[in-house]
Structure 1
Amino acid sequence: MASSRLTNGSPLDADFRSLVDLVRHQVVPAVSAAIAAADGPVLITEAAPLARYGQLGLLQELADPTRPRPAARLLLVPARRPDPAVLDGVQLPLTSPGQPVAVARQ
């Protein structure tokens, strides 16, 4: 089990920077390729590690309405209106105010 220092570390910590590099160069390309390979809709959950390791650019690219895609790419994030949606304390990079959609509890 990783220590909290490694998973929630400071950008000044060498171990944390190593994790950021690993996520940037290994995880993000693999996740991006898996999403791109999907012909149908994709529902993304558990995306907080992207925020934790400074990789929300992937979500920003997916949210860009000018990029072609074969089907919907959806991100499920718990949020309360009117507060902005956040992942791991970082506000999501939305490209339009119409992107968030509230889903009723019942």
Structure 2
Amino acid sequence: MDSGHRPGREEVVVSDEVTRSVMVLEFVFRCEDITVWFGARTLAVIERGVFAAWLWRGGALLVDDLLWSVEGGTTFLTIDARHTYVVDGETVRRLATAVA
């Protein structure tokens, strides 16, 4: 069954404001899910509907090695429960458009 979602790819740059490090993640959008990659490592496979719902309501979303959270209007992505990065507003809007 065709869900109407188009496949695609998005590169997402996240930053750590403490260490000033940046990380480039690749989001691969398929009809039913999104795979998040860092280089050759798969960080998470997220159901599209679950991610779309989280983008709408915020809060916390834990999937595989990623924890998405929103605090004070800022979106954060924690990897391996150890390192937290900021996801800027424009990136969140791009992801919301890609997942719709």
Smaller-chain TM-score range?
under 0.3
In terms of fraction of residues, the more strand-rich structure is 2
Instruction: State the TM-score, normalizing by the size of structure 2.
Output: 0.26
In terms of fraction of residues, the more helix-rich structure is 1
